[in-house]
Amino acid sequence: MTSETAGSTPPDNLKPRQRATLKVNKVTADDVAAALKAGFSDFLARPVMSSAFGVFYALFGILIVWCLVWLGKIWMIIPAIAGFPLVAPFAAAGLYEISRRLQNGESFGWSEILTVMADQRNREMGWMAFVTLMVFWVWIYQVRLWLAIILQDASFSDFEGFLTAVFFTPEGWAFLAVGTCSGAVLSAVLFSVTVVAMPMLLDRETNFVSAMIVSVRVVTENPVVMLAWAAIISVTMVLSLAPAFLGLIFTLPILGHTTWHLYQRAVPPAGP
């Protein structure tokens, strides 16, 4: 007597499920230009709400500098300012939500945006915040390491003395060269793992590791365009920091909105 199960195909629910690899689009310079245009439109659609995020970010930067002066940690001012833009992607979470709702034609106010931001603490965004802050602290401590190795005999009793040691001595030039190279590596790593991951975590139910992998794929499959976008962000942020962080009031929200629209172009909607 032949068994009823012999040679039969296992039920579908017993087959191992294979997770489909998320598709990544090719991104062009036209996509970046269109994303910038859409980001600026989002800023104009909600200028007060968008600017509020820039104001908060700028005030936070001013507070950091004031605290360092008060604590007498003069040497940390320049590395803190240089590394400050590293946490910008996380600060832009509310801006992504504004763009998402504008794109979907939803009405919203502060309560809706702040509620969504507060809810992120129970999702994977918190882990991305940890990754971002960890890179920031690595940046600060590697600067301290190079200071100890290269500028060990310099005096940092005041800000003027620090500037003199860094910008007007051979040791200071070596410190700037080494610090710039190591900072570029850290910035490239953080940009690669967050440029798409941050808005993706807000938009989809996925884990932060998967989001970082997709983000890295977007960068590696579109290296020239994404490098250009990273350069635009870097130059804009540096220029925004110059006038006592106040430029961030306008540039941070525009860059945040633009990042959302670039993410939408780089990662197509998930299939059924």
In angstroms, how far apart are the furthest CA atoms of the chain?
Answer: 95
Query: What's CA 68's distance to the chain center, in Å?
Result: 24
pTM above 0.75, yes or no: yes
What pLDDT band is residue 52 in, cutting at 50, 70 and 90? very high
Helical segments of 46-124, H only: 47-71, 77-83, 88-91, 93-104, 110-119
Between 89 and 49, the more confident residue is 49
pLDDT average, residue stretch 183-210: 88
Taking only the tens place, the pLDDT of each residue in 59-86 is 888 888 888 888 877 777 777 777 766 6
- Work out the average pLDDT over 161-188: 84
Q: What pLDDT does 15 receive?
A: 45
Kindly state the average pLDDT of the residues 6-20. 46
**Residue predicted with more confidence, 41 or 57:** 41
The answer to whether the CB of 194 falls within 8 A of the CB of 3 is no
Distance CA 101, CA 115 (A): 13
Q: Is the pLDDT of residue 191 over 70?
A: yes
Q: Work out the pLDDT band at 154, boundaries 50, 70, 90.
A: low
